């Protein structure tokens, strides 16, 4: 089944790997990007790809992205949230660190919330709408002293559950994808785990693509992906 899918955070890392894989599978894409020109001359510079400026922390950006996607493709039946940010803000944060926390809420939680709300009528209209959310294992447990990031991801996991409940009767299926360390630029700045020992973006792209092939009666709500044993 060829789908039309809206993806955020596809400039690099996991989002870009998913977008490139879905394009190879024959899907049409609308990409919400902070820097659309960054993809000029790449495989995503393609007639089946719409590139739209998008800032996850901007309340007006969601409606604009949905509107331009509908204008180009006439609608869409898939939404994949990959945009996110990371700050290592601890529980006992320093004075002046509140802007970090506000950015985590705005981008990691409110960005997906606003965009899902704006996209809902078109996802509902399709009858087999799909939503995938890159949540992270940090939305399931807290390790170490980092607090702000996992709190934002716990909130995102709750949002996924609310999406699932709201959309079930209308055929909308939601999957929270929860990887631990993934070999991306973001992870390289905070983890000492060698990149070759982390989950690779291409592997998550394969999982994302496979989820879209499943019938509405078989879509898992949660997909935990570990590169190391957790106890």
- C-alpha Rg value of the chain to the nearest Å: 17
CA distance 147 to 104: 11
Catalytic hit among 149, 152, 181, 207: 149
Pairing of strands 173-179, 222-225: parallel
Q: How many CB atoms lie within 10 A of CB 31?
A: 27
CA distance 181 to 34: 23
* In the chain, beta strands by DSSP E: 4-8, 28-33, 49-53, 78-81, 130-134, 173-179, 222-225
- In sequence order, the 6+-apart residues with CB closer than 8 A to the CB of 186 are 13, 86
Q: Which of 30, 37, 26 is nearest to 8 (CA)?
A: 30
CA distance 206 to 107: 25
Phi, psi of 24 (to 5 degrees): -65, -30
Q: Does the annotation count 149 as an active-site position?
A: yes
Q: Which of 136, 119, 144 is nearest to 85 (CA)?
A: 136
Catalytic residues: 149
């Amino acid at each position: 089944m060829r789908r039309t899918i809206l993806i955020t955070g596809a400039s690099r890392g996991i989002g870009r790997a998913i977008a490139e894989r879905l394009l190879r599978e024959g899907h049409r894409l609308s990409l919400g990007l902070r820097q659309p020109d960054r993809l000029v001359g790449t495989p995503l510079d393609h007639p089946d790809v719409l590139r739209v400026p998008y800032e996850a922390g901007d309340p007006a950006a969601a409606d604009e992205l949905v509107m331009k996607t509908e204008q180009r493709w006439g609608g869409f039946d898939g939404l994949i949230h990959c945009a996110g940010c990371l700050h290592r803000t601890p529980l006992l944060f320093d004075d002046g660190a509140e802007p970090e926390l506000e950015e985590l809420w705005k981008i990691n939680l409110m960005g997906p919330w606003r965009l899902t709300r704006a996209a809902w009528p078109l996802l509902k209209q399709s009858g087999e709408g799909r939503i995938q959310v890159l949540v992270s294992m940090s939305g399931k447990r807290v390790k170490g002293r980092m607090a702000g990031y996992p709190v934002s991801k716990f909130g995102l996991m709750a949002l996924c559950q609310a999406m699932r409940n709201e959309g079930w009767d209308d055929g909308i299926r939601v999957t929270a994808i929860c990887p631990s360390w993934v070999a991306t630029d973001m992870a390289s700045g905070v983890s000492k785990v060698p990149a070759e020992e982390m989950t690779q973006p291409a592997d998550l792209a394969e999982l994302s693509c496979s989820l879209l092939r499943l019938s509405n009666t078989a879509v898992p709500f949660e997909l935990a992906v570990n590169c190391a044993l957790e106890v």
